[in-house]
Copies of this chain bind each other. A is one copy, B any other.
Amino acid sequence: MSDTTEPDRTKPDPAKPDRRRPYHHGDLRRAILAAALDVISAEGPSALSLRDLARRAGVSHAAPAHHFKDRTGLLTAIAAEGYGLLAATLAEAEDLRDAGVRYVRFAREHPAHFQVMFAPELLRENDLELTTARALAGERLREAVAAVPPSGRGPDPRLAGVAAWSLAHGFATLLLSHNLDGPVGDQDPEDVFRLLTGMLFQSRSG
């Protein structure tokens, strides 16, 4: 435990930790976020420990709280970031099917964000950043549904939205929880999803 390397030479205070690293981390907030995403995608949100993240970033155990207040704050920040990323990729979708494919791709590329976004009991639901980002993503989804010609989306666009969202969300969720490892096998999940939508919407969508 005690460092045995000439403990006195010019070291001002041996009780204090190594001072090669400056007192201020530089971009601790980003470092904590990145480490958190690693942990979550590997072991799930419940394995997240603020002290562990601090250790990984080489700072003291209470440092993360200064940027995120508490554990819930950190997860809320991740969820908000996730909704922002999702909204951005949905905005570029060509049509509803492409939006679905992008939804699945987002879940695969940002599994940690995705998990946290849909775990409301882990989040501060009244957080402003979170609610606005989520509303924006919802708006993008509605736009994608609205772009479908009326003949193809049935009488109620809200219902069509729920249908599309359910399909994409279910597929993405089952994919992440490894429940499609069998049936999908080694095929590209996005291709499988495209096949799926082709099957369900074959009589109407182009």
Contacts and interface: CB of A to CB of B under 8 A. Distances in A.
Interface of A: 43-47, 118-122, 154, 158-163, 165-174, 177-180, 183-184, 192, 195-196, 199-203
B179 A174 contact: no
Contacts of A167: 163, 166-167, 170, 200
Copies of this chain in its oligomeric complex: 2
Main secondary structure of the interface of A (DSSP, over half): helix
A121 B47 contact: yes
Contacts of A165: 170, 174, 179
Contact of A200 (B178, B192, B201): B201
A192 B166 CA distance: 12
Given A184-B162, A199-B160, A173 B173 contact: yes
Quick one: which of A168, A192, A200 has the most chain B CB within 10 A? A200
14 contacts: A44-B121, A44-B122, A45-B46, A46-B121, A159-B183, A159-B192, A162-B180, A162-B183, A165-B174, A166-B167, A166-B196, A167-B170, A169-B174, A200-B201
B159 A196 contact: yes
Given A122-B44, A199-B154, A166 B162 contact: no
Contacts of A163: 167, 196, 199-200
Given A119-B177, A160-B199, A169-B174, 11 more contacts: A43-B121, A44-B119, A118-B179, A120-B177, A120-B178, A163-B167, A165-B179, A166-B167, A166-B174, A167-B167, A173-B173
